[in-house]
Amino acid sequence: MANRKPHILFLCTGNSCRSQMAEGFANFLGSECLEAHSAGLEAHGKNPNAVAIMREAGVDISGQESKLVTPELVNWADMVVTVCGHADEHCPVLPATVPKQHWPIPDPAKARGTADEIEATFRAARDDIQNRVRQLIATLTRDRTES
């Protein structure tokens, strides 16, 4: 890994909202210092609200695929970040050298209410994910400059 960017795998249950947003922000904000993919324990397809809310932030995730986690993706990863409790509890067995972080982000797809209330829930998740991705990038950048 010393000669290449670290590979970050974001996992959630359906790879439709939170992990998609995390992948989008990581590749948009951290393209100089990391490479990111996302996957799910299931593949539910991208949530259109997630695509729209990310577009508001200037990040286009419409071309990302909703995909199942595979042994190849797990082996590709230098770090795994779970973004929901279900994925954290049912995370595939990781190699001992692969660190895992857990970000407990509420599922915006479960939001109920008016269109405005649902959008606000998606924005809150998006903003939380963006802040966490920025912190991850800062940590990775600091670690790379110190080593």
Which residues are designated catalytic?
12, 84, 91
Query: What are the angstrom distances between the C-alpha of 56 and each of 16, 38, 51, 74?
Result: 17, 20, 9, 31
Long-range contacts of 124-128 (CB under 8 A, 24+ apart): 125/17, 125/18, 125/21, 126/21, 126/50, 126/53, 126/54, 126/57, 128/103
DSSP three-state, residue 60: coil
Distance in angstroms (rounded) separating the CA atoms of residues 54 and 77: 24
